Amino acid sequence: MVPQIYVHHKNSKIDQPVRSLVGFKKIFLQPRESKNISITIPKEKLYNWNTNRHQWVLDKGNFVFQLAEHAGKVIAKESIYIE
């Protein structure tokens, strides 16, 4: 199993994908086994290239983080405001 974290910046001023893969972790489970895991997302994964300023920028605003079993199956999501 490979839990994945996707992010989408709502109301971004910069064109960007609908969502981007920002983290994942490969884990091995036995049948009916469960595990608690953590996936660290470096702040730099939230930056986008600003073509006007010619630099990486982090737009403040609401970011939606999605936990997925795979790209087509989101199982949880959380919106977080980042300054």
Residue 41 has pLDDT above 90, yes or no: yes
C-alpha distance from residue 51 to each of 13, 15, 73, 74 (Å): 12, 10, 33, 31
> 2-27, pLDDT tens digit by residue?
999 999 988 777 777 889 999 999 99
Give the Cα-Cα-Cα angle 44, 39, 43 (nearest 5 degrees). 15
Domains located in the chain, CATH noted: 4-82 (2.60.40.10)
Give the Cα-Cα-Cα angle 80, 47, 69 (nearest 5 degrees). 60
pTM: 0.86
Q: Report residue 35's pLDDT band, with 50, 70 and 90 as the boundaries.
A: very high
Residue 70 has pLDDT above 80, yes or no: yes
**Residue type for position 17:** P
